[in-house]
Amino acid sequence: MSIVTLTLNPAIDQTIFINNFQLETVNRAYDLKSHAGGKGVNVASLLAANGHKVVATGFLGDQNTELFDKLFAEKQIDDQFIRIPGQPRVGIKISDQQTQRTTEINLPGLTPTNEQLDAIRATIKRLAADDNQWFILAGNVPPGIPSTIYGQLIEIIRAAGKQVVLDTSGEALRYGLAAAPTIAKPNLAELEQFVGYPLTSEQAAAKAGRELLSHGIKLVVISMGEHGALFLDNAQSLVAIPPSVAVQSTVGAGDAMVSGLVAAQTQGLDLVASARLATAFAAAKITQLGSNLPAAEIVEHIRADVVIRPCNAQLDVLQRGANQLKGVPL
């Protein structure tokens, strides 16, 4: 049994390392690292490294694919990407190790044709008919693709009786949530955009999350940056807070949380154990560059230090607002 990840807009992620990065002046970089990226690709890499069989699909430019080919071969990921003409987009990450802040610049990506869109629908339908229980739809929608695409694919997957995780934003999130994925993982800013008003307390975020549960979603995970993450199902509401770790880069923390969530589901863990593992994956990821986790014993040590507590309906812990949480985009 494999886990399927879908990445409609993969990227070559280039991380530039600059101490004391400043705008409107000359900055001297001291290192540059490139790796195959995109949310679904990152999730596939992390799950494969954790011992899961993974199928990766989506759209991938047919030029300059060496980093992707190398990743899929090294991690033994089943590459079922549909190649389209052009080069994968580039995502530039400026990592300031001194301030532990990361600035991201993401280019738009390639636009598939209607025939290629039909091909990805057919691919998902075929994979859903096989022995694949979990599907992860992650990342933004490239230009020219209708925002309804995730909703359409979720309907195909659900019709086959399989489970699906949605991690996206904007209109793609809105249409995707309407199709009731099994798990939804918005961050706080994405959920604010969805509901149309600020969520400045755990109570407000939990209320918005429970509204999603009422429409058929089984588990909602709301990333709250430095405040941890809120986990909601029909029986419980709890907050998981990671321990302090040495940050290399916050890029990919949310992808690691999705990976941990799915790993927990495949193990049949309850909500508390799932929250602990997913949060440990996210915290461990920010100690590493690229789409890797540290050694298993380090992840386990972090998991033991994750704090789990009930959602506090009275405590206004998010009073600084979502804009202050972007340093740790779990």
Query: Do 157 and 229 fall within a single domain?
Result: no
Write down which residue in 129, 145, 179 finishes a domain: 179
Domain boundary among the residues 122, 147, 179 is at 179
**Catalytic positions:** 255
What's residue 315's pLDDT? 47
Which of 129, 164, 179 is the last residue before a domain boundary? 179
pLDDT at 226: 78
Q: Are residues 4 and 127 in the same domain?
A: yes
Q: Do 4 and 108 fall into the same domain?
A: yes
**169 and 208 belong to one structural domain:** no
Can you give the CATH number for the domain in which 283 is found? 3.40.1190.20
In a shared domain, residues 296 and 215: yes
pLDDT < 70 positions in the chain: 313-330
Asked if residue 160 and residue 241 are part of one domain, the reply reads no
At residue 328, the pLDDT reads 44
Do 156 and 204 reside in the same domain of the chain?
no
Across the beta sheet with 54-61, the strand order is 78-84, 54-61, 2-7, 132-138, 163-167, 183-184, 219-223, 229-232, 237-241, 307-310
Kindly state whether residues 209 and 153 are assigned to the same domain. Answer: no
- Residue range(s) defining the domain that contains residue 301: 182-330
**pLDDT of 79:** 98
Write the CB contacts of 165 (distance below 8 Å, at least 6 apart in sequence). 134, 135, 136, 137, 138, 181, 182, 183, 184, 185, 258, 261, 262
pLDDT, position 34:
94
In the numeric block, the tokens 């994405």 are attached to 190
On whether both 207 and 229 belong to a single domain, the answer is yes
d(CA 279, CA 263): 12
Number of domains in the chain: 2
283 and 313 belong to one structural domain:
yes
Instruction: Specify whether 171 is located in the same domain as 262.
Output: no
Residues 103 and 13 in one domain: yes
